[in-house]
Amino acid sequence: MKSFRIGILGGMSHKSTIKYYDQILEKYYERKHDYDYPEVIIFSLNFQRIIDLEHGDNRKGYIEYLMEGIKALEQAGASFIIIAANSPHAVYDDLVQLVNVPILSIVKATAEKAHQENLKKLLLLGIKFTMQSTFYQEFFAKEGIEVIIPSDEEQDRLNKIIFEELVIGLFNDESKSIILRIIINYTTDGVILGCTELPLIISQEDTRVKLLNTLNLHVEAVLNQYFKMNPME
């Protein structure tokens, strides 16, 4: 019987990659209540190299390095792949032209949820690279949804919290308060947690504003795809 394998391109950061793996198996069990878990392959990239490529505006080198990991997952037998981070989706359209298996988009999964919830205006939070790119805005505009970003000063504060704390597993109340204050500074229908580390520090219980947890939504898309490929599961 053919084994359908989930490929995870991770390491951006390792904290969220671990959360992806954990949630895929947890949510599988919630659906099936058995231990016939999916086979999962993880390729963990060099995080500093990814950061340097993003900050250096080296699109060609960025795509080439991401493809090294993706090709390794393909060679290991991945039936489909997810990139366990938001920022690499800035080059998603380029990547899908170079692969032989599907790559499930975190942006698409999030947009589908926003559409289901009838959300029309959203605040995007994440690292500066993600907030200052346009891939979320462009994709969501197709669904008739406006995406806005925080001020430059707020972007700097978010970026610092993510890179100096969250990616290495540091969580403090002051940083959480800063994020929540940024959220209430804007009148929107909801907030895109457009960094897979952000759900590690804030959750829906912390605010009345609708939060779109991109990591959770991506994991749900993974399982939907897995069960689509394994109809007898």
Residues 54-58 have a mean pLDDT of: 90
What is the model's pLDDT at position 232?
A: 64
What is the model's pLDDT at position 135?
A: 97
Number of separate domains in the chain: 2
Note whether 56 and 17 are same-domain residues.
Answer: yes
Note whether 87 and 121 are same-domain residues.
Answer: no
What is the model's pLDDT at position 174?
A: 97
Estimate the share of the chain in helix, then strand, then coil, as percent rounded to the nearest 5. 55, 15, 30
Note whether 146 and 171 are same-domain residues.
Answer: yes
Note whether 116 and 100 are same-domain residues.
Answer: no
Note whether 85 and 145 are same-domain residues.
Answer: no
Residues 83-90 have a mean pLDDT of: 97
Asked if the model's pLDDT at residue 63 lies above 60, the reply is yes
Note whether 43 and 19 are same-domain residues.
Answer: yes
Note whether 111 and 202 are same-domain residues.
Answer: yes
pLDDT of 122-169, one tens digit each?
Answer: 999 999 999 999 999 999 999 999 999 999 999 999 999 999 999 999
Report the mean per-residue pLDDT for the chain: 96
Asked if the model's pLDDT at residue 60 lies above 80, the reply is yes
Query: For residue 145, what are the contacts with CB-CB under 8 A and spacing of at least 6?
Result: 111, 114, 115, 119, 120, 121, 122
Strands laid side by side in the 121-125 sheet? 146-148, 121-125, 190-193, 210-213
pLDDT of 214-229, one tens digit each?
Answer: 999 999 999 999 999 9
Asked if the model's pLDDT at residue 196 lies above 80, the reply is yes
Note whether 125 and 80 are same-domain residues.
Answer: no
Note whether 207 and 114 are same-domain residues.
Answer: yes
Note whether 209 and 111 are same-domain residues.
Answer: yes
Tokens encoding 29: 């069990």
What is the model's pLDDT at position 231?
A: 73
Note whether 98 and 163 are same-domain residues.
Answer: no
Sign for the pseudo-dihedral over CA of 104, 149, 195, 209: negative
CATH number of the domain within which 119 lies: 3.40.50.1860
Asked if the model's pLDDT at residue 1 lies above 80, the reply is no
pLDDT of 163-195, one tens digit each?
Answer: 999 999 999 999 999 999 999 999 999 999 999
What is the model's pLDDT at position 230?
A: 82
Domain that holds residue 44: 5-105+217-229
Question: Distance (Å, rounded) from C-alpha 87 to C-alpha 106?
Answer: 10
